[in-house]
Structure formats: structure tokens, C-alpha cells
Amino acid sequence: MPVAVPPLSQLQAPANWRTVDLISDLHLQANAPATLAAWQSYMAETTADAVLILGDLFEVWVGDDEVPASPFLQSCAQVLRGAGERLYLGLMHGNRDFLMGPAFVHSCHAHGLQDPTLLTLGNTSWLLSHGDALCTEDIEYQAFRQQVRSPGWIQHFTSKPLAERQALARGLRAESEARKSIAASYADADAAACLAWLAPTPSRQLIHGHTHQPASHLLSAAGPQQMERIVLSDWDMQATPPRAQVLQLNASGHHQRINLS
């Protein structure tokens, strides 16, 4: 079966950009204050020209109308706004926060990033994705993803009262924690899907999050046209050892992982 290749968005870095930071899967929530504090410090102190957040910034997002009722979300919006006023801030949807609306993104002085987005920095291009759509072997999840991303489902869900949506979200979080307790593993990205997404682009490197399995994987034989998949880390400052990692790209075409923990 041929791999579906989604429409591609492009982000051309201005000539003055020297570094771009990539983070994902912070899963920010009120009951994880250590991760929140690490993120707040990073966003205030980073010297990158741009910060691109590749999905799942929040543990859950049930609608923009929750923000006025949530001091936690208001404080997060303030952090985003402060960063967005001094650098380029990009927000990509993840599987947990895909209901984040353009009005909220705009209010944070941020830019919405489509999935996937081709970033060109200097003479190097990088294909960026949250990564969940690449886990094609997880048939059950892909069916669920297609359902909840449909306009009809979104309209039906967001029409429910806020309290009902919050209760549904709590149930989903409880199911997620139960899977973690039995060490259920995340499905990994499919190599054929990654290569299919890279094929129409000038990029030889695909960067994604979602799987919580930070590593670099060769997708093709070594050589001038070598293809690579680079996986971002999730953030969890309450884990042992704590995790808080940034992938920094520079205009010379190199990248490095920076551990903040």
C-alpha cells in the first residue's frame, strides 16, 4: 500500500538566523511543576533566533475557551507571549493538543506550523513533524487519529460544555497513565513512511517527536544521499533521571542535543 504524503509547508529562515531550537512532548500540566519551571526558565533564557515546538506542548487541550478559566494555562500563555515578543516562536499540533486554535496561537505572538514543515536554515533543509502520523503500523491509533481530526468530530466535541470536555480529558489521561504503568511502549515511526515523506523534498533529515525515544536512525545507506531520522526527547523533570532536552540546529548545517536537566 502506498504511503500517503501530506501537503508540505515551508519555513525559510531569514539570513540573520544562526540557531533554531526544537523541542516537543513537554506535556505541560499543573501537577508537573518541575517540568513547567524548567520550560519557563528555558523560554526566558534561550539565545536561539527561533524556538519551534513540534507538538504536545500541553498534556491535553480541550479548547481555547478553557484558558480564561485556568490560571495554569494563562501562565503558560504569558511565557509563550514573552518568548514570541523577542524571537520567532512556532507551534505545531501534537496528538494531545491538536485542538489548540489559531486565535490562541496568535495571542501568544506565535506562528502555527503545519505538519510537516520543511525548514531551510542556511543551505540545509530539515523536514519537521510531530511524528504520530508516521507510526503507520499502529493501525488502531491511526484510525482514532483520522476520526478525531475530522471536522465533524471536532465540531461535535467542541460543542460540548467545557466541564464535560474536561471530564472526558481526565478519563483519557487516566487511560494513558494505566498504559504507562504496564510499560506499554510507544509505536515507532515507520522507515518507509519517513522515506516517502522525505522523497519530494531537498531534505535528507527528518526530525520528529511523539515516540519519547530520542535517538538518531539511518534510513538509507551511508553516503552523500544518506537519509536520517532524528527523534526529539520528551520532557519530564520528575523522572529518574530527569529529562529536558533541546535539539539545536545551526546555519552551518550541524545539530546538537543540549540537556537542560
Question: Which domains can be identified in the chain, with CATH numbers?
Answer: 9-259 (3.60.21.10)
105 SS3 class: helix
Q: For helices 33-45 and 71-84, give the axis angle rounded to 10 degrees.
A: 20
Q: Which three cell numbers stand for residue 214?
A: 530520542
pLDDT digits (tens, 9 = 90+) for 150-190: 999 999 999 999 999 999 988 877 776 665 555 455 689 99
3-state class percentages of the chain: helix first, strand second, coil last, to nearest 5: 35, 25, 45
Do 237 and 254 form a contact (C-beta atoms < 8 A)?
Answer: no
pLDDT of 117:
98
User: What is the Cα Rg of the chain in Å?
Assistant: 18
Q: What is the pTM of this model?
A: 0.94
pLDDT digits (tens, 9 = 90+) for 28-48: 999 999 999 999 999 999 999
